[in-house]
Amino acid sequence: MAEVLVVVEASQGVAKKVTLEMLTLARTLGDVSAVVLGGSAAALADKLGEFGASKIYAAEGEDLDGYLVAGKATVLAALIQRVSPAAVLLASSQEGKEIAGRVAVKLDNGLLTDVVALDADGVGTQVVFAGSTIVKSKVSKGLPIVTVRPNSLTPTPAPATPSVEQVEVALTDKDKLAKVVERKVEAKGARPELAEASIVVSGGRGVGSADNFKLVEELADLLGGAVGASRAAVDSGFYPHQFQVGQTGKTVSPQLYVALGISGAIQHRAGMQTSKTIIAVNKDAEAPIFELADFGVVGDLFKVVPQAAEEIRKRK
Amino acid sequence: MKIVVLVKQVPDSGADRNLRSDDNTVDRASASNVINEMDEYAIEEALRLQEAHGGEVVILTVGPDRATESIRKALSMGPDSAVHVVDDALHGSCAVATSKVLAAAIAQQGADLVICGAESTDGRVQVLPHMIAERLGIAALTGARKLTVDGTSLTIERQTDEGYEVVTASTPALVSVWDTINDPRYPSFKGIMAAKKKPLQTLSLGDLGIAAGEVGFDGATSTVVEHSKRPPRQAGNKIDAGDDGGSKLVEYLASEKFV
């Protein structure tokens, strides 16, 4: 069977969920090889094997970790030319897309981004225009280079024992123009990452203040979910921008999305419309968010949410 | 310092947007077209740098004739001039080909710094900044929520899922920005009047040394097979909170096995 490359996305030495999803998807396309660009492959090997990687290409070193993406793209492009894979999958994250873009230019090859499904013929499905339109497209020049949106499928294990091949990191000065001098982690506690979470609880302008966001966090923690925020809430300074859901923020597609005090402007709907189940709490019965909510509660979120939190605690 | 700001005209994300049934491209003719919102932040950042360090700000747009409206709007915020690459052969271009055109135009301008939005609201593809930097062989500082310039040295805070990264480079470089970086100014009446008289240079593909076959449908590296409207979500059950709205919410969560 043809070889399919999956570019591993990891955070602090742990493979992200989207990586396991890509491995699962790649198994439907061919023999799966994971590509680790930067960081440490050894720490990830067990998990990558568990989800079906029969081979791991490990490209490591300060030249990759210390600079933004250009070097990673150089290594990946060289690997693609050497092994001629049937397809290359990357995460639809900022970095995944950036690497994919550079590789596409280097190889004069097409690419598809934000794919939620990919068939054996390389036809990818994308959901565009704020979730209103479904597009099927394919790469028409070169091999399919595809970025996969998190939460597009359920990862399933298929244990394999991967061999590890060290890949040479041969970079030029052009790969080392953007130097990363510091990495700052801003606390999100033990919560899952927004784009990958199965449950997201978001707050909007109706939450009223940064302090009141504790209520949103409390419900998220009780449900084991991530916290999101509408643009209005972020612009008002209630919550940091990296948690913004919407047209100019993250696009999420969780099993459950709970919108608290969010009116549901198109700007917000663009980022959460493909969630499986949507619940809304808003005091305005005419708020557009109710048009897409599977379950809506018209009322004061400062009464509804604490009562719900108490009820969940009782059931635990 | 010469700063080139990339501006894209996009269909208004607040209105209904469609793909054309005949050739699967974005329907721009029947849409209400506006400046890509993120680009306004790029323009603002360029103007602030100009105010602090001097130099020149040039708008660069690749797009059909009607993109002129957005270029004038961009100029009304304060940039000095604009370059519009317009050519019928561009219709149907993929991101890879578009990056070739933008890179050629930037190279011709001789920019010290290129600033653009992190993504456009229509495609949301987010690959153009690195594609352009790859072609030009310049540094790409992408996803900036803060930019500091000291002589030829640039420093950004790059937004990440975990927090942020501090990334440095020297000019010439490209910086892409998120909407957290500043608050764009509104054009003044004076600015709107002045924009009508500012230099707007129109370039064809030939002026950039690019053949028609390298772009458009002929040069596309990916193709849309089909598209369809996604059925709109149906509103479900909506209740009044009353005294037990929270409990009812949890009952619903339980019925769906979330608790």
Three-state SS string over B133-158 comes to: HHHHCCEEEEEEEEEEEECCEEEEEE
The per-residue pLDDT for range A154-178, each reduced to its tens digit, is: 999 999 999 999 999 999 999 999 9
B50 in reach of chain A (CB within 8 A): no
Residue A136's beta-bridge partner residues?
Answer: A125, B226
State the pLDDT at residue A63. 94
The amino acid that residue B234 corresponds to is Q
Residue A211 belongs to what H/E stretch? none
Residues of B with Cβ-Cβ distance to A139 under 8 angstroms:
221-222
Provide ipTM, 2 decimals: 0.95
Q: Which two tokens stand for residue B141?
A: 């500082």
Every domain of chain A with CATH number 3.40.50.1220 lies at 194-315
A63, B129 in Cβ contact below 8 A? no
Residues in chain B: 259
Helix (H) and strand (E) counts for chain B? 7, 13
Residues B101 and A237: their CA atoms lie apart, in Å, by: 39
State the pLDDT at residue B104. 98
Residue A147's beta-bridge partner residues?
Answer: A90
A277, B256 in Cβ contact below 8 A? yes
Q: Which of B126, B173, B223 sits opposite A138 (nearest CB)?
A: B223
Buried (b) or exposed (e) across B30-56, using 16+ Cβ within 10 A? ebebbbbbbbbbbbbbbbebbeeeeeb
CA distance A152 to chain B (A): 16
CA distance A157 to chain B (A): 23
Residue range A3-176, CATH number = 3.40.50.620
pLDDT above 80 (res A1)? no
Residue B61's beta-bridge partner residues?
Answer: B84
Mean per-residue pLDDT over chain A, rounded: 95
Q: Which two tokens stand for residue B219?
A: 């040069």
Q: What's the mean pLDDT in A281-306?
A: 97
DSSP helix/strand/coil, A134: strand
State the pLDDT at residue B161. 84
Every domain of chain A with CATH number 3.40.50.620 lies at 3-176
Closest residue of B to A247, CA-based? B121
DSSP helix/strand/coil, B237: strand
| Radius of gyration of chain A from its Cα atoms, rounded to whole angstroms | 21
B37 in reach of chain A (CB within 8 A): yes
The per-residue pLDDT for range B136-189, each reduced to its tens digit, is: 999 999 999 999 999 999 999 999 888 899 999 999 999 999 999 999 999 999
The per-residue pLDDT for range A191-247, each reduced to its tens digit, is: 999 999 999 999 999 999 999 999 999 999 999 999 999 999 999 999 998 899 998
Residues of A with Cβ-Cβ distance to B220 under 8 angstroms:
110, 140-141
The amino acid that residue B15 corresponds to is A
The amino acid that residue B184 corresponds to is P
Q: Does domain B2-219 bear CATH number 3.40.50.620?
A: yes
Q: Which of A106, A136, A277 sits opposite B225 (nearest CB)?
A: A136
Residues of B with Cβ-Cβ distance to A180 under 8 angstroms:
165-167
pLDDT tens series, chain B, 259 aa: 999 999 999 999 888 899 999 999 999 888 889 999 999 999 999 999 999 999 999 999 999 999 999 999 999 999 999 999 999 999 999 999 999 999 999 999 999 999 999 999 888 889 999 999 999 999 999 999 999 999 999 999 999 888 899 999 999 999 999 999 999 999 999 999 999 999 999 999 999 999 999 999 999 999 999 999 998 889 999 999 999 999 999 999 999 999 9
- For residue B156, what are the CA distances in angstroms to A109, B89, B147, B152? 30, 37, 5, 13
Residues A156 and A150: their CA atoms lie apart, in Å, by: 14
* Ramachandran bin of B137, using left for φ above 0, alpha for ψ from -120 to 50, beta for the remaining angles: left
- For residue A22, what are the CA distances in angstroms to A37, A118, B97? 16, 10, 27
CATH superfamily of A194-315: TPP-binding domain (3.40.50.1220)
A283, B222 in Cβ contact below 8 A? no
Q: What single-letter DSSP state applies at residue B41?
A: H
A270, A251 in Cβ contact below 8 A? yes
Residue B189 exposure: Cα atoms within 13 Å on the Cβ side:
0
Whose CA is closest to A235, among A193, A275, A207, A266? A207
- For residue B241, what are the CA distances in angstroms to A259, A305, B75, B123? 15, 11, 50, 39
Residues of A with Cβ-Cβ distance to B101 under 8 angstroms:
none
The amino acid that residue B247 corresponds to is S
Q: Which of A102, A142, A174 sits opposite B221 (nearest CB)?
A: A142
State the pLDDT at residue A188. 65
Residue A39 labeled ligand binder: no
